[in-house]
Structure 1
Amino acid sequence: MEVETLTAHWSIYINLGGCLVGLLSVSLLGPWSDRAGRRPLLVLPSLALALQAALYLLVMYLRLPVGFLLLGRLLSGICGDFNAILAACFAYVADTSDRRSRTIRVAVLEACLGLAGMLASIVGGQWRRAQGYINPFWLVLSTNLTVALYTYLFVAESVTPDPGAKLFTTEHYRAMYRLYTMPRDKGRRARLWLYALCFFLVVTVHFGSRDLYVLFELSAPLCWGPALIGYGSAAKHLTYLTSLIGLKALQLCLEDSWIALTGLLSNMTGLVVISVAGTTTLMFTGYGLLFLSMLSTPVLRSKMSKLGDVSEQGALFASVACVESLCSLVSSGIFNSLYPATLHIMKGLPFLFGAGLLLIPAAVIGTVECRERKIDYSVFTGTATTS
């Protein structure tokens, strides 16, 4: 019991420390990449993640105090951590795509993340059971070093670097502040805030429900074993691929906003079915209904990107990365507290709560889209009357 308590406490310290430091550094590095270029923002966090893996290996080989794990996490956080890589990748996609193709390219990047997560959970779990914890960290170290080297040698720069760009200046934080506070034409600032709120709620539900799936599957009446839990995990990660295929097909007949609403509907219906699942068949039916649930996040990223200027993409996706980090903290606090508190009422109540939360972004996206159509129609009819 004492070991489990210490493990839980150190896990909180490591994750919280890395997250808080990462928020400050991503807010600095993202806007900096708008002037200094995307390649440094891809290389620096990769080297820091490699350093973190090296420190973890030293802790395991030399049996150093657990505090060194926190040191490695903080060093990675200072360089932006994985969120900085995400911000740089999405900004790079925005730099190299036009407005029409941006949504599908963002979705491809998100699908890569989902499939990589599925592969890591399958391979990492089997490898860890067969050989312990040390060897997988050698793969983490070598992978991050390879990514840094590949980026340095082969990735073309998408931004014209400014040789005079300074890293340590408050101007980068002011750039993020101006992104959300400066007046913009046609209500762009208000829409940016609304889409950021929608993104926060959607990702919070994604993270919160993801944390509970295994607990829900292990307990009665499902009582799943390792094999079924593995199949369930694969089904969850496959939603990234099915959503990508669905997005490509739906773009032939629907605007992005309606595609996002389709994804939210898929997410809500899947969560409702899972909340009442008492059999394996019904649980997998819920997973099946989630097959388009990842449509909304790439659409929201793309919409926010289109609302920012070309010179603001690094700052914009840095702010999105910060929102995503906050989602991770908020979702764990809400859903992990709600689940044990409502077990005596209804075990699946947190999933129903998540489905209810998704009604807010659905209402916001639908209202904004209808309002934009009304404004465009008024402009069109006014122009036609004048001519």
Structure 2
Amino acid sequence: MKRLRCVEPVVAVYSFASFLLFPLVQQYVYRRLWMDLTNSTYPSGDDGSRCGVNGSSNRSSSHEEVQRAASLFSLHTELFSMVPSLAVTFLLVAYSDQCGRKITIVLPLVGSILYCCSFLAVSFFQLGLNWLIAASVASALFGGIGTMLGGCFSYVADLCQDGQGRTLRIAGVDMVIGLLSGVASISSGYFVRAAGFNWPLFTSALCQFLNLLYAVLVLEESRVPERSGEVTCRAAARGLLLGVRQLFVGGGHRRNVLLPVLMVTFALFSFSDIGSMSAITLYELNEPLCWNEVLIGYGSALSTIVFLTSFVGVLVLSRCASDVTIVFIGMVSVTTGLVMIAFARTTLMMFLVRIPMLLGVMPFPVLRSMMSKVVSTSEQGALFACVAFLESLSGNVALAAFSSIYAATVAWYPGFTFLLAAALCFIPIVMLSIVKLIGPVDANETEPLLPGAETGDPVDPVA
């Protein structure tokens, strides 16, 4: 069978299956906790308002109690799965410079299948919710979305040598993630209403299984380093550590300053963005919005337009603006939208907050591309391992932190979480001035490699 060097189908199917699953977790946990804590059936309706005109103080108190319990359950899940996911992400993606990229794609798919099947068992047999935490930890041992994306972006970097072409293809991968996640999100609401939770879970598991077959049988490896002989585990570990160390000490002074600043900027913005987005579903379920599963699906689907408009934004702005300017516009877009979410009290207003966030995804692919341009070809795996590690760490810490904050503030002001996230966005915006001050790294500004490290290609300047 002829193999293909096209990783986008893997990203597309993985995104669809994962984002078909993610909204189900919060909604399933919310419904189970509602029944356990209130000893009543979960309220539902076709009008999208389960707690509006017929609300009472007792009903309001129940919503706050369930909101708090659901938020803390999310916190516990993230805390238990964070450490194994971070460790596996860092080791696998960094090691892909030596063993190839496919391992970073195949193992997360195995973990996703394991989690889907476990969730299906919990739903079908009405097992305890703690089994979901155990399944999340087991899945994290195979890596997670950070491992998958780190491997896919390294795969793309292997295939694209041109700086602008790499930026556009990385932005294209982000767009695929957004569009397919939107299709999954809008489908999940109707799917749950028509068939309950079991069939969507089975569909997600089936998609991940077919995706695994494509990755193993069809996808061609993008990087197969030549090996003179058998490589021991000790030698592989030494090579991995040397590769990561080389990333931060092997370049000139300006590169050694610019790369950490870009990474910290990326991590801080990811922290604010992921943390705030994690609370949106609970915010929409709460008063005064009281959305049902269909409206939640529509809201998530509308958010995916951001990925398409952000891709168009990168495509257009990359021809007339610097990378720093593009990132700045995207961060301001997110900050404005978060402030509006904090004050959204009607369904129409909650839909309209997506408008100022139309360019909100631009910072992620552009920052990845900026970092990729300042390191050599042989260091792409080490770079994206560090980026995936930081993204996973900031994402997991953000989910835990914002879940705790939302649980603590939901009773007196649910929108506080989004105002806090908007305020935190100003830190990476300020750090962009440091990036601008450092300026582009010269292609010849390198230092000799460490002994035993692999010699890479000339370094591209930051656009």
Normalization by structure 2: what TM-score? 0.71
Alignment of 1:228-243 (within 5 A): 228-243=295-310
Task: Work out the CA distance in 2 between the residues paired with 1:105 and 1:122.
Answer: 26
Which residue does 1:88 correspond to in 2?
151
Give CA-to-partner distance per residue, 1:138-157, whole Å, 9 cap, x none.
32332222222212222222
Task: Work out the CA distance in 2 between the residues paired with 1:231 and 1:88.
Answer: 30
Give CA-to-partner distance per residue, 1:198-233, whole Å, 9 cap, x none.
111111111122123344445555555555444332
Q: After superposing the two structures, state which structure 1 stretch, 334-343 or 281-290, moved more.
A: 334-343
Q: After superposing the two structures, state which structure 1 stretch, 160-169 or 208-217, moved more.
A: 160-169
Q: After superposing the two structures, state which structure 1 stretch, 98-107 or 133-142, moved more.
A: 133-142
Aligned residues of 1:261 and 1:366 also touching (Cα < 8 A)? no
Q: CA deviation at 1:76?
A: 2.6
Give CA-to-partner distance per residue, 1:16-49, whole Å, 9 cap, x none.
3332111111221112211111123222322333
**Relative to 1, partners in 2 of residues 1:82 and 1:282: Cα closer, same or farther, differing over 3 Å?**
closer
Structure 2 letter corresponding to 1:86: L
Task: Work out the CA distance in 2 between the residues paired with 1:135 and 1:284.
Answer: 28
| One of 207, 210, 217 as aligned partner of 1:153 | 217
Give CA-to-partner distance per residue, 1:35-67, whole Å, 9 cap, x none.
111123222322333234344445556677766
Identity across matched positions, percent: 33
Task: Work out the CA distance in 1 between the residues paired with 2:407 and 2:202.
Answer: 37
Q: After superposing the two structures, state which structure 1 stretch, 209-218 or 102-111, moved more.
A: 209-218
| One of 67, 92, 100 as aligned partner of 1:37 | 100
**Relative to 1, partners in 2 of residues 1:273 and 1:122: Cα closer, same or farther, differing over 3 Å?**
closer
Which residue does 2:395 correspond to in 1?
328
Q: CA deviation at 1:343?
A: 6.0
Q: CA deviation at 1:110?
A: 1.1
Aligned residues of 1:28 and 1:172 also touching (Cα < 8 A)? no
Alignment of 1:50-61 (within 5 A): 50-58=113-121
Aligned residues of 1:259 and 1:296 also touching (Cα < 8 A)? yes
Which residue does 1:101 correspond to in 2?
165
**Relative to 1, partners in 2 of residues 1:135 and 1:25: Cα closer, same or farther, differing over 3 Å?**
same
Task: Work out the CA distance in 2 between the residues paired with 1:65 and 1:215.
Answer: 21
Task: Work out the CA distance in 2 between the residues paired with 1:336 and 1:71.
Answer: 19
Normalization by structure 1: what TM-score? 0.84
| One of 76, 87, 90 as aligned partner of 2:139 | 76
Q: CA deviation at 1:258?
A: 0.8
**Relative to 1, partners in 2 of residues 1:153 and 1:303: Cα closer, same or farther, differing over 3 Å?**
same
Gap runs ≥5 in structure 2 = 1-32, 38-65, 446-463
1:296 aligned onto 2:363: yes
Give CA-to-partner distance per residue, 1:325-384, whole Å, 9 cap, x none.
2222322333334345556876533323222222221222233224316x98xx9xxxxx
Task: Work out the CA distance in 1 between the residues paired with 2:94 and 2:384.
Answer: 9
Q: After superposing the two structures, state which structure 1 stretch, 359-368 or 285-294, moved more.
A: 359-368
Which residue does 1:383 correspond to in 2?
none
Which residue does 2:41 correspond to in 1?
none
Q: CA deviation at 1:261?
A: 0.8
Aligned residues of 2:342 and 2:416 also touching (Cα < 8 A)? yes
Aligned residues of 1:43 and 1:147 also touching (Cα < 8 A)? no
Structure 2 letter corresponding to 1:259: I
**Relative to 1, partners in 2 of residues 1:224 and 1:368: Cα closer, same or farther, differing over 3 Å?**
same
Give CA-to-partner distance per residue, 1:76-110, whole Å, 9 cap, x none.
32222332211110100111112221111111111
Aligned residues of 2:313 and 2:359 also touching (Cα < 8 A)? yes
Which residue does 1:132 correspond to in 2?
196
Q: After superposing the two structures, state which structure 1 stretch, 302-311 or 175-184, moved more.
A: 175-184
**Relative to 1, partners in 2 of residues 1:161 and 1:84: Cα closer, same or farther, differing over 3 Å?**
same
**Partner SS state of residue 287, structure 1:** coil
Q: After superposing the two structures, state which structure 1 stretch, 56-65 or 189-198, moved more.
A: 56-65
| One of 9, 23, 27 as aligned partner of 2:90 | 27
Which residue does 1:246 correspond to in 2?
313
Aligned residues of 1:267 and 1:293 also touching (Cα < 8 A)? yes
Which residue does 2:431 correspond to in 1?
364
Gap runs ≥5 in structure 1 = 380-387
Q: CA deviation at 1:279?
A: 4.7
**Partner SS state of residue 157, structure 1:** coil
Which residue does 2:205 correspond to in 1?
141
Task: Work out the CA distance in 1 between the residues paired with 2:128 and 2:341.
Answer: 42
Give CA-to-partner distance per residue, 1:183-210, whole Å, 9 cap, x none.
5214112211111111111111111221
Which residue does 2:341 correspond to in 1?
274
Aligned residues of 2:71 and 2:407 also touching (Cα < 8 A)? no
Which residue does 1:18 correspond to in 2?
81
1:121 aligned onto 2:188: no
Aligned residues of 1:26 and 1:322 also touching (Cα < 8 A)? yes
Task: Work out the CA distance in 2 between the residues paired with 1:204 and 1:116.
Answer: 23
| One of 383, 398, 403 as aligned partner of 1:316 | 383
Task: Work out the CA distance in 2 between the residues paired with 1:69 and 1:345.
Answer: 30
**Partner SS state of residue 320, structure 2:** coil
The structure carrying a bigger helix percent of its residues is: 1
Aligned residues: 376
Task: Work out the CA distance in 2 between the residues paired with 1:211 and 1:57.
Answer: 22
Q: After superposing the two structures, state which structure 1 stretch, 343-352 or 108-117, moved more.
A: 343-352
